[in-house]
Structure formats: structure tokens, C-alpha cells
Structure 1
């Protein structure tokens, strides 16, 4: 029987097969857990059944954690740990607690002295950085950029300054339907020689990872519509 702990369970990115990105050890850990903290119960159940076909889904307990979950509820989700039962955290895609509300529950578990175990799995942020050719020793992930035009342009200019003054790779994401608008804003706002890596559909069949200067991107036609992307800037 595995030691009671809060296990951070990575999920595939898109429709990637389990055996391509997740070790068999993860499946064994999942098999010993009956309490799960998830962003979406329906997709979590589908992932668990895909990972462990013999799992008895209806015997499991699920707690929902998203932007609407109240802070007082979150702490109660860890009650099974106090009774010696392991808990698994499952996000919608990739690694829990990275650009993900799961970080809140991990912080509470750490403060309470519970064991926290991160399992191996795909992180689109790290994988895009690995493939970009940019500085992997000094980088910053900013999540989503401001939507308002003036704030957005100021943020982009600030990030570009850090590239040249600190040699720091700048990483951010966008809502898929606004990918093209972001690319246009980067081309318009940044220096032509600044390099941009666009990484889309990582680990999936249509994976696309390409690094170009913004001047080169301005001449290329690329379809990013509704594709999950990571954008990386560097000099």
C-alpha cells in the first residue's frame, strides 16, 4: 500500500495516447487513490478510465477545484489525508499547479505538513522552452497578457526589454481564438530582429514548434485558429 500523500497527476495534452507521455508508474499510483481533486469531473473521469481501464469510476470521490471554489472549501478537500487516504490532483491538461488552480491546494497541503508527490508528465511550458533554442537558465512565464490594447502593448514592450537587458526568455499563452491577434501585436510592437517561438499542439499529431524572427513571421502564413499555443520571445 502506497504512503498517503497528495499526488499531482499529469494529464495528456490533447488526444495524445497515454503510453506516449505518461509512465506506467503513474497508472499504479492512480490505482491506489480513491479521492481526486479535479477541475472538471467529466473530463477527469474520462482520463482515469483511459489511464486505468479497470478502475471502478463510480466508487471514486471527486472534489471540484476551479476559479469559483471558495477558499474554505479547498481546505476541507484535504480531510481524507488526515485519515490516511491519498488524494490525487488532476488538471484539464498537462501538469497540475502549473498555470493551474491546483497550486492553492498544494500550498495548503505544504502548510499542513502533508507529503506532496509530483508525478512525471508533459508540461507544454517546459517542452516549448526545450525546443525553442532560447535561454533555458533564465526565463519567466507570465500566463495571459492583458486584453486591453494599451496595457497589452506596454506588457509586450516590458518583456522585450527584459530579453535584451537580462537575457531572459519570456513565455506566455493566449486564448486559442486570439492567437492571431497576439501574433499581430507582437509583430507590430517588437523589434524585427527579436525572435519568437510558437509551439502548438505539443505531443499531439499536429505538433508545430517553430522559431523565427518577427520580421520572418510577418511574411509567413500560419493557421493558429483554436490551437493551444505557447509563445516565447528571446533575442
Structure 2
């Protein structure tokens, strides 16, 4: 059944406001967001200690309650009851837009199901901020957030995403970014363009732009710190690379395909095939050049 919402009609219950917070630079918060945090009855925060620093900076005295992935099942119905009773609540994440990488999505669904008005405020977002400065095509794009942690699941996810022509956008921690980009190089090839946006809007903001091979080399020589947005060029040849179609090819056929499809010399194509198949480069070299073992 269709539901309509007129966000600012007078109602006999409260409202759920989704309030973005700065992703680094505190000056990026909007006047409306600060005023909303002051006006609501309660702030549901992913990390109350982190949010309190923001509230102190802008002299906001509204009380907080914790709302995170470990207590969302218990806390969601409690917050819904408070809103039904007439309280207005602002939900905030640690940084940026709520409901993207936090349990806000569950709260929004519950509010919608309960007929509660949900009002989003515009504001900071790391993915879009990094994307527009990446130098890669900003539209269309496909945002995934955080990739799977296990190597097998990570590789499978990246192979599935290789069917897409859109620019790909991910979030990643400093502890995993090197492993993730190395796996991307194995799946997408050495020449695919990639951008790392580090510490977006913060003092040490940095953009690293290059090919997979170049960025992997940069990562191997750096003391990696800070949170990353990873932006990857889409696969313009997506229709020719069905999932693991190369499994039926000989090594020589695979190298020849990569050379032609990606306009690579044999040396780089051999390296790419070896990475993708997870076999020694010398084995691929020997097969391509038809050398005796």
C-alpha cells in the first residue's frame, strides 16, 4: 500500500531527523544541523563520547542516548515509542550522513512502518566529496561501502563488481587498504585507474591518483594512516568479461586476450594473468612463449 509523507505538517507525535555531522572539518556542519541538534528532545548517537565533542564545540546541550550496531535491536523500539509519545529525535553517526554505514537504516524502517515522519538533512558525505575530486567519471557511480573482510569473499565480490561499467566507490580502513588494492589489481588488472582519497576534509587530506600498479607501489612504500575512500574506474569492457570465463582458456589465450582487450604489452599481460589466476608468473611466461619446462 502506498504511503505519502508531508514532512512539515503538524502532527500529534514527534519526528525523526537524520542529521549529518562533519567527516573531519567541524566547519562543514550546516547552520540547520546545529539548530536541529539544539531543537530536538534527544540525540541518538553512534558514539556519545565522539558526538559530545561536537556538541560542546557548538554549545548544544541536548541530551544523548547511544544507538549503535550492538544495541540497535533493543534501542530501536524504545526510540520509536519516544517519538510516538511526542518527542523529536535526531539520529547522528560518528561522521557524515547517518543510515549509510550505521544502524540508522533499521531505525528509519521502523519509523516508516510506524507512520512516523522521517526528515533527512543534507550535509557532509565522504564518498561524494572524494568522488567529485577524483578525476574519474562521477556518474554513473556505484557505492558499496566496506568490502568483505575474508580474502575469498573479497575476491568474489570484486569479480562480481567487474561486470559493472560504473565508477566504483568504497570505504576502507588504513589496516586493510593495501590488501584490498592488491586484490583489486589481481582482479581488475594493473592498468585500471584508481584513486585513494585519504583523510577527506581533514588537515592531512591527500589524493593518490594512478593505475592499480602505481598505487600498489605507493602503498608498499608508505606508512599508511587515516581513513580512505577508494574510487575505481568502471570496466568499459564489462560485457566481455563474464565471471571467470577465462577458466576455459589456455594460459596463452588468456594472455593474448588481456593484451588485446587492455592494450597491454605481453610482459604486463603475463603479470596480470598470473595475479588473477594466483599462479607463478614464470608459468604463464613459459606457456605464452611456448617454452619447454
**Do they fold alike, i.e. is TM over 0.5?**
yes
The residue correspondences of 1:83-94 to structure 2 (distance < 5 A) are 83-94=85-96
Structure with greater Cα Rg? 2
From the superposition, tell whether residues 116 and 224 of structure 1 become closer, same or farther in structure 2 (CA, over 3 Å).
farther
**Distance in structure 1 (CA, Å) of the matches to 2:72 and 2:102:** 16
Give the match for residue 36 of structure 1. Answer: 43
Give the match for residue 46 of structure 1. Answer: 53
Alignment gaps of 5+ in structure 2: 1-7, 235-293
Alignment gaps of 5+ in structure 1: none
Give the match for residue 98 of structure 1. Answer: 100
From the two aligned structures, give the one with the greater strand fraction.
1
Choose the corresponding residue for 1:8, options 15, 18, 23: 18
Contact 1:78 1:87 in 2 (8 A): no
The residue correspondences of 1:182-221 to structure 2 (distance < 5 A) are 182-220=180-218
What secondary structure, in the 3-state scheme, does the structure 2 residue paired with 1:67 have? coil
> Once superposed, what is the RMSD of the aligned Cα atoms?
2.2
**Distance in structure 2 (CA, Å) of the matches to 1:102 and 1:30:** 16
Contact 2:147 2:154 in 1 (8 A): yes
- Deviation of 1:87 after TM superposition, in Å, equals 0.4
What secondary structure, in the 3-state scheme, does the structure 2 residue paired with 1:89 have? strand
From the superposition, tell whether residues 5 and 228 of structure 1 become closer, same or farther in structure 2 (CA, over 3 Å).
same
The alignment's TM-score, normalised by the length of structure 2, stands at 0.69
What secondary structure, in the 3-state scheme, does the structure 2 residue paired with 1:215 have? helix
Question: What are the superposed Cα offsets for residues 131-151 of structure 1, whole Å, 9 maximum, x if unpaired?
Answer: 223333322222222222222
The alignment's TM-score, normalised by the length of structure 1, stands at 0.84
**Distance in structure 2 (CA, Å) of the matches to 1:227 and 1:101:** 23
From the superposition, tell whether residues 70 and 8 of structure 1 become closer, same or farther in structure 2 (CA, over 3 Å).
closer
**Distance in structure 2 (CA, Å) of the matches to 1:137 and 1:50:** 36
